[in-house]
Amino acid sequence: MKKILFRKLLLDYLTFFLLALISTGTVIWVFQAVNFLDIMIEDGRDYLVYLNYSLLNFPKILSKIFPFILFFSLYYVTIKYELNNELMIFWNFGVNKIDVINFILKFSLLLMILQIFLNSYVVPHSQDLARSFLRTSTVNFFDNFVKPKKFNDTIKGLTIYADRKDKNGKLNNLYLKKQIKKNEFQITYAKRGEFRQVRNNPVLVLYEGATITSKENKITNISFSQSDFSLANVETNTTTYKKTQEIASTKLLKCINNFYKFENKKFESNSDNIENCRLENIQNIFKEIYKRFVIPFYIPLLSVIPFLLIILSKENSNYQKLKFFTFLIGFFVIVFSETTIRFISKTTIHNIGIFLIPVIFLLLIYLFLSNKIKTNFKNL
């Protein structure tokens, strides 16, 4: 009978957790996807790039809300069990309260491993894949990113300004500045302009204007009645290099190993094959490792906190206060786990101390619960 009770308890916890995780993640993703759509439109990207990029950010959202959703699920279901007198069934069948805590604690270790896998492999891989879509994609919708009376520098090395834009997308009083080299540039002015496809290549057709070119300290001025400004194979200013959160965990760990292994002068020369592995970025790498491997250790702690609720029964006058106090502790732990990242440093002993915080907190709460349960049992 005990196995059936534990199986039902686990099923209820898991069902609520998964439903809450997916539904909350989807709501956040929708809001984020709308923001991505605005960015992609301004960037002139294809809608397929937008769709892939936004979908590949979903694992990151799930990873971020994972601890809070787990805590809230355990908190909510435990209260529901108490209010429906379902916990009394456990106690009547001789189930010890500490056995329930141990059961959930063991299961939380599996969830901790799952989040480590999610943080250390799935999220970096999906983020890198999302970035690769930007690296390999081309600008297709040039009409979208040119706004009237606004300087636009979406295209790398090119600034476009239009005084007016009609409903057909035709531009009036255009200004273009193209950076050729460091001290060489080209400025073009035109009364009218429009985007066209010429031999399957995007072209900005300019009418009635002039081009001023500054090259090798010489300035030339050429007037034109019509000029085709090619936009084929242009690059945008969107970040396309790998960020720290997109780099594989094995490479980040290797970078940290090199940092401790080599002196400052030899460090970067021995880390050339690792993206962003530089002295000025080593602090960010330590923080990223903390996010991937240490924050998941708060999962067992957050799994135990809701069981403070089983200390008292719902009939106790202090039960409502206990509910509030338990939620407050869980919320504090979640905020604390995110804020301690600021204290990550290059010092090994300092970091080990921060890494041990969730383990110490877990032991303290577990010992408190164990002692409280024993005391209550003796008083019966």
Question: Which pLDDT score, from 0 to 100, does residue 179 have?
Answer: 80
Does residue 316 lie in a domain region?
Answer: yes
**Strand, coil or helix: 186:** strand
Alpha helix (H) residue ranges in the chain: 2-43, 47-55, 58-83, 86-92, 97-117, 123-136, 142-145, 249-261, 264-267, 282-289, 298-304, 319-339, 348-379
Question: Are residue 115 and residue 22 in the same domain, yes or no?
Answer: yes
Write out the residue range of the structural domain in which residue 153 sits: 142-230
Question: Which pLDDT score, from 0 to 100, does residue 86 have?
Answer: 86
Please, what is the Cα angle at 39 between 156 and 291, to 5 degrees? 100
Question: Are residue 207 and residue 260 in the same domain, yes or no?
Answer: no
Does residue 11 lie in a domain region?
Answer: yes
pLDDT at 342 over 60: yes
- 189, β-bridge pairs: 175, 210
Token pair of 279, please? Answer: 């002295």
Quick one: what percent of the chain has pLDDT higher than 90?
A: 31
Least reliable range by pLDDT among 44-48, 53-57, 109-113, 306-310: 44-48
Cα–chain center distance at 134: 17
Question: Are residue 150 and residue 116 in the same domain, yes or no?
Answer: no
pLDDT digits (tens, 9 = 90+) for 254-271: 888 888 777 665 666 666
pLDDT higher at 47 or 373: 373
Per-residue pLDDT band for 52 (boundaries 50, 70, 90) equals confident
Find which of 26-40, 54-68, 145-159, 218-232 is predicted with most confidence, using mean pLDDT. Answer: 54-68
Question: Are residue 211 and residue 249 in the same domain, yes or no?
Answer: no
Does residue 236 lie in a domain region?
Answer: no
**Residues with Cβ within 8 Å of residue 214, at least 6 apart in sequence:** 183, 184, 185, 186, 187
Question: Are residue 119 and residue 148 in the same domain, yes or no?
Answer: no
- Predicted TM-score (pTM) of this structure: 0.79
**Do residues 287 and 344 lie in contact, with contact meaning Cβ atoms separated by under 8 Å?**
yes
Tell me how far apart the alpha carbons of residues 173 and 164 are, in angstroms, rounded to a whole number: 7
Token pair of 86, please? Answer: 């379902």
Does residue 237 lie in a domain region?
Answer: no
pLDDT at 336 over 90: yes
Tell me how far apart the alpha carbons of residues 278 and 265 are, in angstroms, rounded to a whole number: 11
Tell me how far apart the alpha carbons of residues 344 and 338 are, in angstroms, rounded to a whole number: 11
Does residue 235 lie in a domain region?
Answer: no
Question: Which pLDDT score, from 0 to 100, does residue 118 have?
Answer: 94
**Do residues 17 and 111 lie in contact, with contact meaning Cβ atoms separated by under 8 Å?**
no
| Residue where a domain terminates, one of 205, 230, 255 | 230
pLDDT at 33 over 70: yes
pLDDT digits (tens, 9 = 90+) for 275-319: 778 777 888 888 999 999 999 999 999 999 999 998 887 888 888
Does residue 213 lie in a domain region?
Answer: yes
Find which of 97-106, 182-191, 233-242, 342-351 is predicted with most confidence, using mean pLDDT. Answer: 97-106
Question: Are residue 21 and residue 125 in the same domain, yes or no?
Answer: yes
pLDDT at 228 over 60: yes
Question: Which pLDDT score, from 0 to 100, does residue 239 have?
Answer: 56
pLDDT at 85 over 50: yes
* Counted domains in the chain: 2
Question: Which pLDDT score, from 0 to 100, does residue 43 have?
Answer: 61
HSE of 327 in the Cβ direction (CA atoms, 13 Å)? 13
Question: Are residue 180 and residue 307 in the same domain, yes or no?
Answer: no
Tell me how far apart the alpha carbons of residues 317 and 323 are, in angstroms, rounded to a whole number: 12
Q: What is the DSSP letter of 266?
A: H
pLDDT at 368 over 60: yes
Question: Are residue 284 and residue 345 in the same domain, yes or no?
Answer: yes
pLDDT higher at 122 or 151: 122
pLDDT digits (tens, 9 = 90+) for 86-137: 888 888 888 888 999 999 999 999 999 999 999 999 999 998 888 777 666 6
pLDDT at 377 over 70: no
Question: Are residue 82 and residue 23 in the same domain, yes or no?
Answer: yes
Which letter, b or e, does each residue of 59-69 get, where b requires 16 or more Cβ atoms within 10 Å of its Cβ? bbbbbbebbbb
Residue 215 host element (H or E): strand 201-215
Tell me how far apart the alpha carbons of residues 120 and 63 are, in angstroms, rounded to a whole number: 10
Question: Are residue 220 and residue 246 in the same domain, yes or no?
Answer: no
Does residue 165 lie in a domain region?
Answer: yes
Question: Are residue 165 and residue 97 in the same domain, yes or no?
Answer: no
Tell me how far apart the alpha carbons of residues 111 and 74 are, in angstroms, rounded to a whole number: 13
Tell me how far apart the alpha carbons of residues 15 and 20 are, in angstroms, rounded to a whole number: 8
pLDDT at 379 over 60: no
Question: φ, ψ for residue 317 (rounded to 5)?
Answer: -65, -20
Per-residue pLDDT band for 380 (boundaries 50, 70, 90) equals very low
| Residue where a domain terminates, one of 184, 200, 230 | 230
| Residue where a domain terminates, one of 230, 258, 282 | 230
Please, what is the Cα angle at 195 between 191 and 201, to 5 degrees? 135
Question: Are residue 268 and residue 373 in the same domain, yes or no?
Answer: yes
**Do residues 197 and 184 lie in contact, with contact meaning Cβ atoms separated by under 8 Å?**
no
Does residue 296 lie in a domain region?
Answer: yes
- For the chain, give the mean pLDDT: 83
